[in-house]
Chains A and B, each alone.
Chain A
């Protein structure tokens, strides 16, 4: 973990209210595990913004984010050559056992972002990607998932792109015929509740979101209630997560 000086090399809109920012870094960037995030300084803001790492190589990294509030709006207006600091890589990412052979990725909206790099983290695992969006204007990272996944299914709620419906239903249809070792999920709370209710009989790992202060485990603002045996514990999304076992988190 370090705070790196990043320089913007491009900052482009890639879907409705969604931007991709690419950075270069003079220092050598570390390796990372899909699901880990960075804590990005935004001009004029006190708190940093946690954003999933999409790609990261020696001197390059990228993020994809929705403009939802002031911080992401400022970020979306920044220009090539502007500099920002980012603490990275933070959190524990999707750590998978060596025995896994085939894994399903289930994403909704911006939740697809941290799932993409998982594919490159585990080259020996076969991934099938089920990604859902509201409408075609919201679809992101189709080409990237298409290139890297064994099987891909993109859905939109209005049917304007890919299949009509929800990504979870597409996955349900495939569960019987595929021997998935696990499902990795990232999306809205209603979507996570659906996944919990569906009660897949295989391990489900989830990447959680919570507002953050420090990003490194020191301030306790980002807690998530997690069942450990018979006890409920408040774990920190930033350092104990953001990835947890879905059946252990209280939604």
Chain B
């Protein structure tokens, strides 16, 4: 049975990638399993300068979902190189560094610096709903996507994944803009913008008032967008949003995802990749799928 996949010429031993922001810089789950079991993993969103993020509470539970407003807390590039990179180099899995910024220049500077590190891919986060100044502002309109992706492309020497926001008018135009201006792959979706309220205090639950919704609640939105983007672009797609079972993985792959990311499910099951991979091989056997690549985009349109 074959579960390995190839995205932009990079070999993943299986299609599972830990999603940015839910897996730190890859150390925290070592007590539970060998993190090299993942096909790949994406770091927490990195900015050039250190960031403290938003005030707490930063998380709330909503029906079948979780709402967060971490706000890109991260150690900044210098500390990343000093404290995280040496560890990342010891890993035997695909390492993707997720990058963010306030201005196009920030993204370019960081993309260049990160490209010189011993990592495998760069994921451009232009879709974070939790920081005011930037993030999503770049990711909502095709014009700004062209600008930021086109600029970063010149500085990024590693395969460039562009991560798209679902909080947009037309996801296909944004995907097309990213492809046209140099993205090697597209990942989607980032969290869906949302809010939760406490009737007793009459306040929003999150200190930041609004946050990003993740988990099973957003899966139908994500599947739709993956399918739409699959029908629009030629570059590989990495799908995510609410994946919490082997069946979910196959659903995303049928809609056109070459690989998938798993975020919130890590909070539900600290052995997430172990459970999911075990389920995937069983389900593939049940469904008589010899090679997981054969189902990518194989959705029979009605």
Given contacts A3-B271, A213-B267, A223-B53, contact A218 B59 (CB under 8 A): no
**Binding stretch for chain A, among B22-30, B106-114, B156-164, B247-255:** B22-30
Q: Closest Cβ of chain A: how far from B266's Cβ, in Å?
A: 6
* A-to-B contact residues, CB < 8 Å: 1-3, 41, 45-48, 71, 87, 210-224, 232, 234, 239
Given contacts A3-B270, A46-B264, A213-B267, contact A221 B29 (CB under 8 A): no
Contact string against A for B residues 252-268, beta-carbon threshold 8 Å, 1 for contact and 0 otherwise: 00000000000010111
Q: What would 26 A/B residue contacts be, using CB atoms closer than 8 Å?
A: A46-B268, A47-B59, A47-B61, A87-B270, A211-B58, A211-B59, A212-B59, A213-B68, A214-B22, A214-B267, A214-B270, A215-B267, A216-B29, A216-B31, A217-B24, A218-B24, A218-B266, A219-B21, A219-B68, A220-B58, A220-B70, A220-B73, A221-B56, A222-B58, A223-B73, A232-B52
User: Which B162-207 residues have a C-beta within 8 angstroms of A?
Assistant: none
A218 CB contact (under 8 Å) in B28, B60, B66: B28
The distance in angstroms between the C-alpha atoms of A75 and B179, with both chains bound, is 49
In contact, A221 and B216 (Cβ under 8 angstroms): no
Q: Which residues of B contact A223 (CB under 8 A)?
A: 53, 56, 58, 73
In contact, A234 and B70 (Cβ under 8 angstroms): no
In contact, A46 and B64 (Cβ under 8 angstroms): yes
Given contacts A3-B271, A46-B268, A211-B60, contact A220 B28 (CB under 8 A): no
The distance in angstroms between the C-alpha atoms of A45 and B267, with both chains bound, is 11
In contact, B73 and A219 (Cβ under 8 angstroms): no
Q: Is B142 an interface residue (CB 8 A)?
A: no
In contact, A46 and B73 (Cβ under 8 angstroms): no
In contact, A3 and B58 (Cβ under 8 angstroms): no
Given contacts A47-B59, A234-B52, contact A1 B68 (CB under 8 A): no
A41 CB contact (under 8 Å) in B59, B60, B268: B268
Q: Closest Cβ of chain B: how far from A40's Cβ, in Å?
A: 12
The distance in angstroms between the C-alpha atoms of A45 and B24, with both chains bound, is 23
In contact, B266 and A214 (Cβ under 8 angstroms): yes
Q: Closest Cβ of chain B: how far from A86's Cβ, in Å?
A: 11
Q: Is B219 an interface residue (CB 8 A)?
A: no
Q: Is B215 an interface residue (CB 8 A)?
A: yes
In contact, B68 and A218 (Cβ under 8 angstroms): no
Residue of B nearest to A42 (CB): B61
* B-to-A contact residues, CB < 8 Å: 21-24, 27-29, 31-32, 44, 52-53, 56-61, 64-66, 68, 70, 73, 215-216, 264, 266-271
Q: Closest Cβ of chain B: how far from A87's Cβ, in Å?
A: 6
Mostly, the A contact residues are: loop
In contact, B56 and A1 (Cβ under 8 angstroms): no
In contact, A219 and B22 (Cβ under 8 angstroms): yes
Residue of A nearest to B216 (CB): A46
Residue of B nearest to A39 (CB): B270
Q: Which residues of B contact A234 (CB under 8 A)?
A: 52-53, 73
Q: Which residues of B contact A222 (CB under 8 A)?
A: 56, 58-59
In contact, B32 and A210 (Cβ under 8 angstroms): no
- 7 A-B pairs with the lowest CB-CB distances in the bound complex, closest first: A218-B28, A218-B24, A221-B59, A221-B58, A1-B31, A217-B28, A216-B28
Q: Which residues of A contact B28 (CB under 8 A)?
A: 214, 216-218, 239
**Given A45-B61, A46-B66, A210-B56, 20 additional A-B pairs, CB 8 A:** A1-B31, A2-B32, A46-B64, A46-B216, A46-B267, A47-B61, A47-B268, A211-B60, A213-B22, A213-B66, A214-B266, A215-B267, A216-B31, A217-B24, A219-B24, A221-B56, A221-B58, A221-B59, A223-B53, A224-B56
Q: Which residues of B contact A46 (CB under 8 A)?
A: 61, 64-66, 215-216, 264, 267-268
Q: Closest Cβ of chain B: how far from A233's Cβ, in Å?
A: 8
In contact, A47 and B56 (Cβ under 8 angstroms): no
Q: Which residues of A contact B266 (CB under 8 A)?
A: 214, 218
Residue of B nearest to A225 (CB): B52
The distance in angstroms between the C-alpha atoms of A213 and B268, with both chains bound, is 9
